Amino acid sequence: MKVASCNARGLRQNEKRRMIFAYLHKSQYDIIFMQETHSLLTDEQRWRAEWGGTAIFSHGANSSRGVAVLFKNAFCFEIKRQLKDDHGRYILLEILVNNMIFSLVCIYGPNIDDPRFYRLVFNQLENLQCDNVICGGDFNFVFNLSLDKQGGAQKTNFKARDECLSFMDHFTLVDVWRERNPLSVGYSWSSNISNIRCRLDFFLISRNLLSNVTDCYFQPALLSDHSLTILCLTPSFKPRGRGYWKFNNSLLHDQEYIHLIENVITSFPSDHISGDIDPSLTWEKLKFHIRHRTVKYCKQKAYNFLGFLFI
């Protein structure tokens, strides 16, 4: 399975769009995450026909944002579920490939330091099967200023980066290229005007998929200042269960959540205990109830953020 991620810098020009689609078809990628498509709802039917395969869009404006996930026509898969925003920033898909579920996340991160965006996206990921995650795109920050940036001020969108790192820990995700190149310098974007280069584009995947990765690399893209980021995985996957639920540690700093769980705990005995019950069973019931309320709380927070418009 060959997955590519590309910041297109706009696909509204007919000739440019068709050239890029033809190039991507020739390159034989199975799945393509695209950012900055600048698509509108009125473009969707025509662009999908020009692509000639399955294409999922989240539209932005005619000069900004917009993301898409494109599938090669010969690629055998089934979409089980999809989630996307209304502002052209992310698409989440749950797909079935060879009897195995993958959760795909295509991201175009804001160029301002707003951690709420990553909180929203990863809270949405809780709604999908999270054992085999492939998250890719243009994140608009660097993880390591020494290895991932050259030139310009020694700064990045630190709050957004730290929020992403927190959720990477929560979902056990790893930066594939950095895992394979721990001390290497690499860049996916460059500006000839300001002489700055950064690694802004990457794939974050479930750690259990690392053994199936055969390659992860950059290559020049067509008509863009971003490189293509390529991820190659072998098809020899072993089916896995859903795994353990993982608590998001960032909630420990959320006062609203803390008060909610305090109320859950204090009200639990009268609501759920009757008679002489084994304490260990009571503890398991309480943990189950806390998990249920936590998942519900995270989903509600995600839905509350859906109306937030990123510039």
Burial of residue 267 (CB within 10 Å: 0-12, 13-18, 19+) is exposed
Contacts of 10 (CB under 8 A, 6+ apart): 16, 36, 37, 38, 63
CB contact at 8 A, 95 and 104: yes
Is 99 a known ligand-binding residue? Answer: no
Is 253 a known ligand-binding residue? Answer: no
Name the catalytic one among 85, 90, 226, 257.
226
Rounded CA separation 130/126 (Å): 7
Rounded CA separation 73/273 (Å): 56
Name the catalytic one among 38, 59, 87, 108.
108
Name the catalytic one among 138, 148, 175, 201.
138
Is 225 a known ligand-binding residue? Answer: yes
CB contact at 8 A, 105 and 90: yes
Is 226 a known ligand-binding residue? Answer: yes
* 217 is a catalytic site residue: no
3-state secondary structure of 226: strand
Is 7 a known ligand-binding residue? Answer: yes
Instruction: Retrieve residue 57's tokens.
Output: 């869009």
Q: Where are the alpha helices (DSSP H) in the chain?
A: 14-26, 44-51, 115-125, 145-148, 158-171, 176-180, 255-272, 279-305
* 25 is a catalytic site residue: no
Rounded CA separation 294/259 (Å): 12
Is 123 a known ligand-binding residue? Answer: no
* 43 is a catalytic site residue: no
Q: Ramachandran region of residue 140, left (φ > 0), alpha (ψ -120 to 50) or beta?
A: left
- DSSP class per residue in 19-44: HHHHHHHHTT-SEEEEE-----GGGH
By annotation, the residues acting in catalysis are: 108, 138, 226
For the annotated binding site, the residues are: 7, 36, 138, 140, 225-226
For the annotated binding site for Mg(2+), the residues are: 7, 36, 138, 140, 225-226
